[in-house]
Every structure is written in C-alpha cells, then in structure tokens.
Amino acid sequence: MSKGQTPPEGRKSGPKKRNKLIHDLMVEVLSSDFLDEWRTSGEIASKVNNKMSKHWSPVTTNVISGRMRGDKYIDLCNLYARQISSGQPGNRYLVWVWRKRL
C-alpha cells in the first residue's frame, strides 16, 4: 500500500494492539472448558501465553488478576469468583480463583 492509501474497510494491517489481543485471548480461554474447575490467575496467564504471539512480551499474573477483578469478564464469560486463603498459619495470603457457572 503506497503513501496516502487506506486499507479496505474492516481490515487493518499489522498485528493487533496488545490490549485487544489480551482481551480476545482471555475471552477465548475463559469461555472454553478450561474453567470447568477452579483456576488461579497464574494458570489462566499460562494458557493465554500459550496462544499469544512471540511478538509480544508474556502476560503476567498481575495483568490477568487485575483485569479479572472487574465485573467485565465475570459477566461476559459467566464466571464465579472467590478468594481462598493459602499458606501456613500466621503466613496466609488470599488467592483469587475463577470458575464457570454451571
């Protein structure tokens, strides 16, 4: 395409923007059978990273958990969310887990 020309309507040249790609991959993973069991953000991040292009840096668990805490994905993919306590007594921390609604 030479200078001044625009791509045909509905098509964009080049890779998707990173945020749009992460959103699309998260919806794909969250809508699959992968969430038939309770899953942590680390497990979801590794599944998203398997499908992400090497062009982009890997998605961290912080990115996934930050996006999942909003109601957007919970409503969009029909999920349950809960916090579980993990670790030894006196050294506990909370972990978010998600699962499909049955």
The angle formed by the CA atoms of residues 41, 24 and 47, to the nearest 5 degrees, is 35
Tens of pLDDT, residues 85-102: 776 666 666 677 778 776
Delineate the domains of the chain, giving CATH numbers in brackets: 18-100 (1.10.10.10)
- Give the residue among 67, 65, 99, 101 at the shortest CA–CA distance from 81: 99
pLDDT digit string (tens) for 53-78?
888 889 998 898 888 877 788 888 88
